[in-house]
Every structure is written in C-alpha cells, then in structure tokens.
C-alpha cells in the first residue's frame, strides 16, 4: 500500500509540474517573442548603419595626397528673404580640397586659378537658396558644403574635388532703409 501511495504522490507531483510548465510557456513565450522582435529590429538598424558607412561617400584621399586650393577673395552673397522684412547676406571664403594623386589634379589646379569666378558662381547659386536662419544652422551648412562640392564636380567634370570648406563664414541681417 505504501508503494502505491508513493506512486500516486509522484504522479500527482508530475501532473502539477506539467501544468506549471504549460503555464510558464503560455505566460513567458509572448513576452520573449516581443523581446526577440525588438532585439532583431535594433540589430537590423545597427547593420544598416554599418553598411551605410561602408558603402557611403568615399572618405577621400590619404592625407599625403590632399591638396587645397584657397580662393583669393571672399564673396558676398545675398540670402533668401525670409519674410521678416530684413535683408541678410553672407560673406564666404571658399577652400577646395582635391585629391593630388588624381589624374585630373594637374589640369584642375591650373584651371581653378583661371576660373575662380566659376567657383563663386556655384557657391552663390547654392547659398542664395537659404535664409539667414537656415544658413546659420550647422546641419544646413554641411548640406551647403556638399551641394557646392557636387556643383563643382559637375562644373569641372571631375571627381578630383572631394570637399569644400569655408575659410571664412560671416552672416549679417539688417533692416532695409
């Protein structure tokens, strides 16, 4: 009788264990699935950022190959009217970074000295599309530099130009008389 009683107790404990395991599965599986989905989304975002960095714009030439051309003058550009009744302008000095190891470099470096007005024209056409408030935003300035770089690459039909920096950048807003 004692053996049967122990067998019944063991059977009861196994059934209780089975019920508790089933309960755990139904309680924890949905939460684990949500956590897994969240981790998968985060991993996908991180992979996209890593892939973008690898396939993004080229980092440019090595430091030994960097050649810089500073324009001899600054240019004054009227900024887009923002509707406040105040006029604004920017005084910008442009410096062009080029790849000295590029096959176009020798030709382009002499051509830049002869055609600085082209650089001012591209700069002016990009900058005058922004208002005083916009042009003073750091993110917009990065965008402006990128647009000027792309405009110069198109104008000179070369990839030798890979970056544009502002050697001088001053903005001012005033009321018109």
Q: Residues near 97 by Cβ (< 8 Å), separated by ≥ 6? A: 60, 66, 67, 68, 161, 162, 163, 164, 165
Distance CA 47, CA 43 (A): 6
pTM attached to this predicted model: 0.64
Domain boundaries of the chain, sorted by first residue: 1-56, 63-175
Q: Which two tokens stand for residue 71?
A: 């324009």
Q: Which token pair is 148?
A: 């000027």
Assess whether pLDDT exceeds 70 at residue 126: yes
CA dihedral angle for residue 75, residue 80, residue 81, residue 86, rounded to 10 degrees: -30
What is the distance between the alpha carbons of residues 8 and 140, in angstroms, rounded to a whole number?
78
Q: Taking a C-beta distance cutoff of 8 angstroms, is the pair 167, 70 a contact?
A: yes
pLDDT, tens only, 31-54: 888 888 888 888 777 765 555 444
CATH of segment(s) 63-175: 3.30.479.30
Strand partners, 66: 99
pLDDT recorded at residue 27 = 86
Q: Which residues touch 55 (CB under 8 Å, ≥6 apart)?
A: none
Taking only the tens place, the pLDDT of each residue in 130-166 is 998 889 888 889 999 999 999 999 998 888 888 999 9
pLDDT tens for each residue of 50-77: 554 444 455 667 788 888 888 888 889 9
Q: Tally Cβ neighbours within 10 Å of residue 95.
A: 14
């Amino acid at each position: 009788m004692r053996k049967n009683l122990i067998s019944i107790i063991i059977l009861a404990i196994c059934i209780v264990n089975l019920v508790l395991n089933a309960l755990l599965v139904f309680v924890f599986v949905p939460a684990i699935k949500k956590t897994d989905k969240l981790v998968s989304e985060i991993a996908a975002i991180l992979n996209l950022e890593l892939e973008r960095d690898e396939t993004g714009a080229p980092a440019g030439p090595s430091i030994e190959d960097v050649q810089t051309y500073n324009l001899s003058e600054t240019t004054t550009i009227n900024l887009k009217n923002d509707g406040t009744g105040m006029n604004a302008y920017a005084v910008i000095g442009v410096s062009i970074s080029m790849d000295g190891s590029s096959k176009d470099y020798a030709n382009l470096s002499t051509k830049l000295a002869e055609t600085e007005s082209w650089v001012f024209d591209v700069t002016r056409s990009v900058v005058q599309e922004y208002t005083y408030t916009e042009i003073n935003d750091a993110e917009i300035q990065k965008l402006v530099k990128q647009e000027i770089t792309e405009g110069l690459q198109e104008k000179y039909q070369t990839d030798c130009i890979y970056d544009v920096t502002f050697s001088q950048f001053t903005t001012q807003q005033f009321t018109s008389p």
